[in-house]
């Protein structure tokens, strides 16, 4: 029904639109279609930062139609892991793509000079970005493009900062100031294509086959979203509420996972942020929840009472990565670090992991002041971390070049692999909850805690006495069904609302008839197609090394043993065939 | 915007809405809500050369589609810019039905009854 793919070639400056009903009829949209496009468009073994490597963006059949169907999917080959790259974003992008009439966008090639894409309905232009290429801040880039581009109130603006321009391997793409294609380095891929930004907007009207059935479904979903506890959970304190919860449960990675609780957690808690720093909440388009929490930080930029204020979005993961994991004790300092990552468009989870490893390696004299260019990295020392961040982006020496490639690469060069906290080359999310979290991130298609929610399965294991096999079964169930959810594409914060039956009913309300069995089979098929790509790029789930630190530090479920991990991984591989 | 378009125009569109929400300078700035203010002496009605817009009891205007020739003089007369146009070039006039407020989950929009003096 909606199956337009816009192909853009930055080499030639040309674009075409193709109807790919063959893909959308079968794979729905979002991650399902993007995976097929990646398999079609990405040459095996390609350098992820070469012109041949594609960028794929996709939305789904419910996008901009039903509440919380608010996300867009990106797929690419990751310059951080050299295998499948996938990241999802909220903000305005999904809606802008829908009303511009593009269900997927494929970008290939490399522009011969700095450029940005300007897409407004059927008008697709590659424009000169030479005058903004060196603008380091994503905020200023956004302000400039806002003034020269149309579509006010309906558009989405994606852009990269200096981290993306310099191709830091975990640079992100900023979308609409407060959201990101955060993980796995899409920002570096943009940089490698001389692509600074993309603006998209549209004025299309969407045809719905049965308007009255659609309206009924909308009302039902809207009411269930605003009436359930998701509003409290994600809107009130937001995800930052988890700092206190996980700290108490001993699941909060702290100081490079030396600890799983933080003695100063109270001063970084969601409650502290909300009471003292929060000043605004906003929502992605078409979402009634409004989970985006924005803090206001007043900073002095010059002596003599010269102040500015910064608006900085925060979440649980960010406070873990640049707070507890670096031993930072002040919420205001966490915001300063987040703000610097935002300026450069860097993935906060990777930055936190890299700096935590570097701090411990420095503590153990594995790296020296000559490596760090005199920056004495120390737990809790925000000013030093800010300076190190500047160097990671500029990469003036071998050490910072290594840091810009991620924790796994840096530790392979300098040592300290036992405490290089990564799984499959990806710095971890903020959960040391137990074995399901570790397994979940190892096997997850994008090595994200959101692939299967392993952390939440650990929490269930603690209350329901789950066996290892039961935990594996739950991980697999999530791995498959989240493929369906991410093809629609619904925000995972609303996953409690979008049950199996609601997904079936939602699709039916826009004229797409699928049975439960068909969706389940589809989820598995998409999952395996991703593994096909991962394997062809050299990923082997059996060869992922778990740094010993994961076993040494007590988790929410007590100490985790290598035997448990081995057993669960073996079970997982037997059951899924990966 | 989507609620207005869905319920009043039977459409899924960001254009077919009598209310417009946008930022005043990117998401880091404040939101603007551009909607009919229900004037008691509506300039849009005074500007309408065909009599398609007439003052409504209690404020605002009543729109008679059959009389409209799409000249857009009404939009020029409205300082807040609250007269939006659909795809065919006809104005979308807010009837103050309150549908937008029903789908505002954070109580920013509210439909209230005012006494006419």
CB-nearest partner of A205 from B7, B11, B26 = B11
Shortest distance, CA A170 to any CA of chain B (angstroms) = 24
Q: What is the ipTM of this complex?
A: 0.90
A204 contacts in B (CB within 8 Å)? 13
CB pair distance less than 8 Å for B12 and A208: yes
pLDDT, tens digit (0-9, with 9 covering 90-100), for A285-307: 999 999 999 999 998 889 999 99
Best mutation site among B28, B31, B86 for testing chain A: the one with the most A CBs within 10 Å? B28
Quote the tokens at residue B3.
Answer: 């609620």
Whole-angstrom distance, CA of residue A407 vs CA of residue A388: 14
In this complex, how many residue pairs, one in chain A and one in chain B, have their CB atoms less than 8 Å apart? 59
pLDDT above 90 for A311: yes
**B2-102 maps to which CATH number?**
3.30.70.20
Exposed (0-12), middle (13-18) or buried (19+): which is A577, by Cβ within 10 Å? Answer: exposed
Looking at the predicted structure, is the pLDDT value of residue A140 above 80?
yes
Residues 6+ apart with CB under 8 A from A201: A96, A99, A100, A119, A120, A121, A150, A151, A154, A155, A156
Find, among A175, A39, A12, the residue nearest to A108 by Cα.
A12
Sorting pLDDT into bands at 50, 70 and 90, what band is A141?
A: very high
Say whether pLDDT at A525 is over 90: yes
Q: How far A142 CA lies from chain B's nearest CA (Å)?
A: 8
| CA pair distance A539, A532, nearest whole angstrom | 10
Q: What is the pLDDT of residue A137?
A: 87
Contact A153 B20 (CB under 8 A): yes
Q: Is residue A330 scored above 90 in pLDDT?
A: yes
State chain B's mean pLDDT as an integer: 94
Q: Residues B87-115: what's their mean pLDDT?
A: 92
From chain B, pick out residues whose CB is under 8 angstroms from the CB of A146: 25-26
* Best of B12, B22, B81, B109 to mutate (most A CBs within 10 Å, chain A): B12
> Within an 8 Å CB–CB cutoff, is residue B22 touching chain A?
yes
Q: How far apart are CA A525 and CA A484, in angstroms?
A: 10
**Pure H helices in A101-210:** 138-148, 162-165, 186-192
Of the partner residues A178, A226, A231, the one whose CB lies closest to the CB of residue B27: A178
The structural domains of chain B, with segments of one domain joined by +, span 2-102
- Residue A286 and residue A337: Cα distance in Å, rounded? 30
pLDDT value, residue A18: 98
Interface test with B, best of A67, A89, A95, A218 (most B CBs within 10 A): A218
Q: Residue B117 has what pLDDT?
A: 65
State the Cα angle at A409 between A404 and A415, rounded to 5°: 120
How confident is the model over A413-453, as pLDDT tens digits?
999 999 999 999 999 999 999 999 999 999 999 999 999 99
Question: What domains can you pick out in chain A, each with its CATH number?
Answer: 4-201 (3.60.9.10), 229-423 (1.10.569.10), 433-495+515-576 (no CATH)
pLDDT in the model for residue A293: 97
DSSP letter string, A257-287:
TTBSS-TTGGGGSHHHHHHHTEEEEE--TT-
Residue A498 · residue A536 · CB < 8 Å: no
Q: How far is B5 from chain A (nearest CA, A)?
A: 10
Whether the ω angle into residue A489 lies within 30 degrees of 0, i.e. cis, is yes
Percent of chain B with pLDDT over 70: 99
Phi/psi at A159 (nearest 5 deg)?
-160, 160
* Interval A560-570: pLDDT, tens: 999 999 999 99
How far is the first Cα of chain A from the last one, in angstroms, to the nearest whole number? 33
The mean per-residue pLDDT over the stretch A10-21 comes to 98
The span from the CA of A107 to the CA of A117, in Å, is 10
Instruction: Give the model's pLDDT for residue A1.
Output: 76
**Contact by Cβ (8 Å): A59, A489:** yes
Place of tokens 């000169």: A128
- Tell me how many degrees the CA angle A267-A297-A404 measures, rounded to the nearest 5: 85
SS3 label, residue A333:
helix
Residue A198's pLDDT is 98
- Of B13, B14, B26, nearest to A143 by CB-CB distance is B26
Residues A501-530 have a mean pLDDT of 98
Judge whether residue A390 has pLDDT over 90: yes
Q: How far is CA B39 from CA A153, B55, B62, B75, B96, in A?
A: 25, 9, 12, 14, 12
pLDDT at A241 over 70: yes
Say what the pLDDT of residue A230 is.
78
The closest CB to that of B28, out of A211, A218, A311, belongs to A311
pLDDT tens, A457-493?
999 998 898 999 999 999 999 999 999 999 999 999 9
Name the residue facing B6 among A91, A218, A290 (closest C-beta): A218
Euclidean distance between CA atoms A306 and A303, whole angstroms: 6
Look at A203 and B23 and tell me if their CB atoms are within 8 Å: no
Residue A162 and residue A191: Cα distance in Å, rounded?
Answer: 9
B102/A contact by beta carbon, under 8 A:
no
**B25 and chain A in contact, CB less than 8 A:** yes
What's the pLDDT band for A37 if we cut at 50, 70, 90? very high
Beta-carbon separation of A177 and B27 below 8 A: yes
Inter-residue contact B65 to B52 (CB < 8 Å): yes
Residue B116, CB-side half-sphere exposure with 13 Å CA sphere: 8
* pLDDT recorded at residue A573: 98
**From B33, which residue of chain A is nearest by alpha-carbon distance?**
A153
CA A369 and chain centroid, separation = 33
pLDDT of residue B114: 82
Please tell me the distance from the alpha carbon of residue A152 to that of residue B25, in angstroms, as a whole number.
Answer: 9
Inter-residue contact A321 to A266 (CB < 8 Å): no
Buried-exposed string A288-315: b where 16+ CB fall within 10 A, e elsewhere: bbbbbbbbebeeeeeeeeeeeebbbbbb
Q: Measure Cα distances from A493 to A67, A70, A234, A438 in Å.
A: 12, 11, 8, 21
Distance CA A187, CA A189 (A): 5
| pLDDT, position A337 | 98
Q: Burial-class residue A227 by CB neighbours within 10 Å (0-12, 13-18, 19+).
A: exposed
Count Cα atoms within 13 angstroms, Cβ side, for A566: 4
Strand partners, A254: A259
Q: In this predicted model, what pLDDT tens digit does every residue of B62-90 receive, in sequence order?
A: 999 999 999 999 999 999 999 999 988 99
Subunit contact A203:B22, Cβ cutoff 8 A: no
Q: What is the structure's pLDDT at A507? A: 98
Mean per-residue pLDDT of chain A: 97
- Using the predicted structure, report yes or no on whether residue B116 has a pLDDT greater than 80: no
CB atoms A288 and B12 under 8 Å: no
Average pLDDT over residues A152-173: 97
Per-residue pLDDT band for A136 (boundaries 50, 70, 90) equals confident
Residue B7: list chain A partners with CB under 8 A: 215
Rounded to a whole number, what is the distance in Å from the CA of A164 to chain B's nearest CA?
21
Give yes or no for residue A233 having a pLDDT over 90. Answer: no
């Amino acid at each position: 029904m909606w199956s337009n793919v816009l192909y853009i070639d930055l080499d030639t400056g040309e674009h075409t639109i193709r109807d790919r009903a063959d893909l959308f009829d079968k794979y729905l949209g979002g991650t399902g279609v993007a995976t097929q496009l990646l398999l079609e468009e990405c040459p095996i073994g390609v350098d992820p930062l070469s012109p041949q490597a594609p960028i794929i963006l996709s939305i789904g059949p419910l996008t901009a139609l039903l509440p919380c169907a608010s996300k867009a999917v990106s797929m690419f080959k990751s310059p951080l892991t050299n295998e499948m790259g996938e990241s999802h974003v909220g903000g305005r992008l999904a809606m802008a793509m829908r009303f511009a009439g593009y269900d997927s966008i494929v970008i290939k090639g490399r522009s011969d000079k700095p450029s940005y894409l300007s897409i407004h309905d059927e008008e697709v232009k590659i424009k000169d970005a030479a005058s903004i290429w060196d603008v380091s801040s994503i905020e200023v880039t956004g302000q400039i493009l806002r003034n020269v581009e149309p579509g006010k109130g309906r558009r989405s603006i994606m852009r990269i900062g200096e981290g993306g321009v310099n191709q830091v391997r975990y640079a992100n793409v900023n979308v609409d100031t407060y959201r990101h294609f955060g993980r796995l380095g899409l920002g570096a891929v943009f940089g490698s294509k001389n692509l600074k930004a993309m603006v998209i907007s549209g004025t299309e009207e969407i045809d719905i086959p049965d308007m009255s059935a659609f309206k009924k479904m909308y009302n039902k979903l809207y009411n269930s979203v605003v009436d359930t506890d998701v509003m409290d959970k994600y809107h009130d304190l937001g995800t930052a509420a988890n700092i206190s919860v996980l700290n108490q449960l001993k699941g909060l990675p702290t100081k490079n996972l030396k600890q799983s609780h933080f003695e100063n957690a109270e001063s970084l808690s969601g409650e502290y942020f909300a009471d003292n720093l929060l000043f605004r909440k906003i929502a992605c388009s078409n979402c009634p929840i409004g989970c985006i929490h924005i803090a206001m930080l007043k900073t002095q930029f010059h002596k003599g009472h010269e102040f500015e204020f910064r608006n900085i979005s925060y979440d649980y993961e960010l406070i873990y990565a640049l707070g507890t994991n670096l031993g930072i004790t002040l919420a205001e300092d966490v915001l300063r670090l987040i703000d610097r990552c935002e300026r450069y468009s860097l993935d906060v989870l990777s930055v936190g992991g890299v700096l935590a490893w570097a701090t411990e390696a420095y503590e153990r004299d594995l790296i020296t002041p000559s490596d760090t260019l005199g920056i004495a990295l120390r737990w809790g020392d925000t000013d030093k971390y800010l300076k190190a961040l500047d160097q990671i982006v500029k990469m003036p020496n071998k050490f910072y070049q290594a840091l810009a490639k991620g924790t796994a690469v840096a530790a392979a060069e300098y040592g300290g692999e036992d405490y290089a906290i990564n799984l499959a080359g990806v710095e971890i999310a903020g959960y040391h909850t137990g074995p399901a979290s570790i397994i979940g991130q190892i096997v997850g298609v994008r090595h994200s805690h959101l692939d299967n929610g392993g952390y939440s399965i650990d929490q269930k294991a603690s209350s329901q006495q789950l066996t290892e096999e039961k935990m594996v079964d739950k991980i697999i169930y999530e791995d498959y069904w989240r493929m369906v959810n991410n093809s629609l594409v619904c925000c995972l914060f609303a996953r409690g609302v979008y049950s199996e039956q609601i997904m079936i009913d939602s699709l039916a309300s826009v004229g797409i008839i699928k049975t439960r069995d068909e969706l389940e089979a589809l989820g598995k098929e998409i999952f395996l197609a991703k593994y096909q790509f991962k394997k062809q790029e050299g990923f082997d789930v059996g060869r992922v090394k778990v740094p010993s630190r994961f076993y040494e530090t007590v988790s929410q479920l007590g100490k985790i043993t290598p035997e448990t991990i081995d057993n669960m991984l073996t079970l997982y591989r037997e059951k899924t065939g990966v | 915007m989507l609620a207005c378009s869905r319920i009043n125009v039977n459409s899924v569109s960001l254009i077919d809405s009598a209310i417009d929400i946008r930022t005043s300078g990117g998401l880091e700035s404040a939101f603007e809500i551009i909607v009919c203010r229900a004037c008691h002496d509506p300039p849009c009605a005074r500007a309408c050369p065909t009599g398609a817009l007439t003052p409504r009891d209690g404020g605002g205007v009543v729109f008679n589609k059959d009389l409209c020739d799409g000249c857009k003089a009404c939009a020029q007369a409205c300082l807040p810019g609250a007269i939006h146009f659909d795809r065919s070039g006809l104005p979308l006039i807010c009837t103050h039905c309150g549908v937008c407020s029903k789908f505002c989950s954070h109580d920013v929009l509210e439909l209230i009854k005012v006494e006419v003096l």
